[in-house]
Amino acid sequence: MSEEKMTKVGNQSGVYYRESISKRFRGKVDKCFYVTYKKRGKKIWDKVGWVSEGYSIQMAANIRAERMRSIRHGDELPKEKTKIPTLKLLAKEYLKWSAENKNREGIEDKSRYENHLKNRFENKFLDEITTLDLEQMKTDMAKDDYSPKTIAHCIGLLRSMYNKAAEWNMYNGHNPGAQVKKPVIQNARDRWLTFEESETLLMELKRNPQIKTEYKELKDPKLHDMALLSLHTGARAGEIFKIKGFDVNFETKLITLRDTKNTETRHCPMTEDVTKMFERRMPKNLNSYVFTDSEGDKIKEVSNAFERIVNRLKMNDGVTDRRRRVLFHSLRHTFASWLAIEGTPLYTISKLMGHKSISMSERYSHLSPNYKKDIVIGLEQMFNRKKAAAPAEDQQGEEVTIIEKKKIQSKPVKKKKKPVTKTMIRKKKTASPALPQNKENLLSEAPSKGSAVVAD
């Protein structure tokens, strides 16, 4: 940068400016500030910025002074400590991001933060929360009978918040959740409804609770219809909430489930009952949600009325294991269980359920009448066939051996002919055999038909 093109700011050492040829700002020619200083004997020019960008003479002077201090003192000069945010401040930004980017608008993150993290950590600075604090939270939640899955989700949430803080340059220190071991999760549900139980539940979900004297159905049995859909298709609650009018195809009898838990789009066949339900509920605007709340907005969670009705039917009476309790999600589990009972292959169940792998569908294998049992029966039948065939094969082998021996014994033994030598030929010439006296002797000594003449 040439000093000749610069104009020195009179009262500031090492601060210059250059006027723009074309740029104007607030009716005046725009100016760009520069600072200059020496480093290791070489003159350095640094561009600071334009007046239109908010820079001033004083800002340029401050930047030059900082450069000079850094050159003279290096790292010895104390630096201003970056302000560390509290978890409350981070949570505000994180939950906003979660609502805009996560499934179900981040409602799970918000609930876990407010119920388990807020009171414990929100007023602490991020560098004050330790791994030991999270271990204590694990212990306390376990004592309060929270499930291992809930505890793991809370630890995972805090860890994700710290990761985002680093990504957003809010905090780059230690992540206390990185070294906390999550509890072992064993949440596979083995409770499913019988056909009679499901019919009873659906009937109650349609009942108008305001009328006690007789059975009357609700005008809008929304909860019943969502339960019916889950029971007949295996759809998750979150997937049902997202269904819009254009996702229902009456020609192909298929429902399109978008933005599912594993991020893949899934197509579910409709039963006759489901088809009739959608015909009744189809919105006029196909871009609208099929199921909405009282204000016409998208539903975010299953109504507490479902739990109240289940309790009224005493379906969870005496159940102490949370995995055996009937929840809305139990309807999805019931759908898969019914498929397995009907002999549906596990691969097909996996596709209908939207599982990431077939291993997730193997929990239903014990319900399938053709799984494992048929394999063992097939092996048993094979062993029986082998056992039955073994004696016959042995007997047949013995018969073959006897026949072969007889054939060998009945074969005539051929004598080997001796090779004719010169000595034998000379003997035949010199020998004078006795001639037969009469014709009969001649005939009697003649070789019979089929006999071989053997040379002596």
Task: Look at residue 450 in the predicted model and tell me its pLDDT.
Answer: 42
**Coil, strand, or helix at residue 412?**
coil
DSSP 8-state assignment for residue 338: H
What are the helix and strand counts (H, E) for the chain? 16, 7
Cα–Cα distance, 177 to 182 (Å, whole number)? 10
pLDDT < 70: residue spans in the chain: 1-4, 40, 74-82, 104, 185-190, 358-359, 362-380, 382, 386, 390-456
Q: Are strands 248-249 and 15-25 parallel, antiparallel or unpaired?
A: unpaired
Task: Look at residue 437 in the predicted model and tell me its pLDDT.
Answer: 46
Task: Look at residue 423 in the predicted model and tell me its pLDDT.
Answer: 53
**Could you tell me the strand order of the sheet in which 28-39 lies?**
7-8, 15-25, 28-39, 42-50
Task: Look at residue 311 in the predicted model and tell me its pLDDT.
Answer: 92
Is CATH 1.10.3720.10 what the domain over 195-367 is classified as, yes or no? Answer: no
CB count in 10 Å sphere of residue 390: 10
DSSP 8-state assignment for residue 100: H
pLDDT in tens, 42-98: 788 888 888 888 888 888 888 888 888 777 776 544 444 457 899 999 999 999 999
Confirm if 35 and 16 have CB atoms less than 8 A apart.
yes
CB count in 10 Å sphere of residue 148: 16
DSSP 8-state assignment for residue 86: B
Distances (CA, A) of 102 to 32, 88, 368: 44, 20, 36
Cα–Cα distance, 241 to 275 (Å, whole number)? 17
Torsions phi, psi for 12 (to 5 deg): -125, 125
Task: Look at residue 289 in the predicted model and tell me its pLDDT.
Answer: 95
For the chain, which residues make up each domain, given as ranges? 3-76, 87-167, 195-367
Task: Look at residue 410 in the predicted model and tell me its pLDDT.
Answer: 55
